[in-house]
Amino acid sequence: MRIHSLVPLVLLVLTALAGCVPSDGGEGEGEGEGEGEGEGEGEGEGEGEGEGEGEGECVDAMAGSWTASGSCFGGAMGTTVTVAGCTLTFSDWEMAMSVPAGATIVNDDVTFTGADWTDCTGTISGDGMSITGDCNGGCALTLVMSG
C-alpha cells in the first residue's frame, strides 16, 4: 500500500475526530446553562424632625356627648364629638351661638377650627376625655366628655 493512498483516508479520519479533540483556541460555537439566585435585605434606622400638615401622633379623643363651658361659650352647653384620627368634629350644639366647628390634635395640643375660633387653643387630657384652653381674646374654655 502506498502512502499517498493513505493520505486521503487519514485526512478523513482526522476531520471526523476533530470534534472530539480539544481545541487550544480559535473560534467556535457552543451552548451553556447556568443558574443563579440572589436576594437582598436591608435595614435602616434614622431620626428626623420636621413640620408639615397632616395627621400624626395625637392623644386619642373619645367620641360621644361632651359638655362645653367657660367664658368663651357664655355658659354650659352640650355637643356631639366625632373623632377621625386626630381631627374632632363638633355637631348638635344645644345652643347655636358662636361655637367651634371642630379641632385638630397634635400630641396633646388642640387647635380649634371654625369662624372666630382659630385663635383658640388648648390641651387634651391623657385619657382623651377633657380639653382645657383659651382664646387670644382672653376667654377660657373647657370641654368634658359627659356620656
Q: Which cell numbers in the block locate residue 101?
A: 366647628
Does residue 112 belong to any structural domain of this protein? yes
pLDDT at 6 over 60: no
pLDDT at 143 over 80: yes
Q: What is the pLDDT of residue 14?
A: 45
Distance CA 137, CA 119 (A): 8
Q: What is the pLDDT of residue 82?
A: 97
Mean pLDDT to the nearest integer, 23-27: 49
**What is the domain extent for residue 87?**
64-145
Q: How is 35-52 classified by DSSP, letter by letter?
A: ------------------
Does residue 108 belong to any structural domain of this protein? yes
> 54 or 105: which carries more pLDDT confidence?
105
**What's the pTM?**
0.62
Q: What is the mean pLDDT of the chain?
A: 78
Query: What percent of the chain has pLDDT above 70?
Result: 61
Does residue 76 belong to any structural domain of this protein? yes
Does residue 141 belong to any structural domain of this protein? yes
Q: What is the pLDDT of residue 54?
A: 47
Distance CA 136, CA 54 (A): 24
Task: Tell me the per-residue pLDDT of 81-94, one tens digit each, with 9 for 90 and over.
Answer: 999 999 999 999 99
pLDDT at 15 over 80: no
- Give the number of domains in the chain: 1
Task: For CA atoms 4, 9, 15, 18, give the dihedral sign.
Answer: negative
Does residue 48 belong to any structural domain of this protein? no
Mean pLDDT to the nearest integer, 120-146: 95
pLDDT at 75 over 80: yes
Does residue 20 belong to any structural domain of this protein? no
Q: What is the pLDDT of residue 33?
A: 57
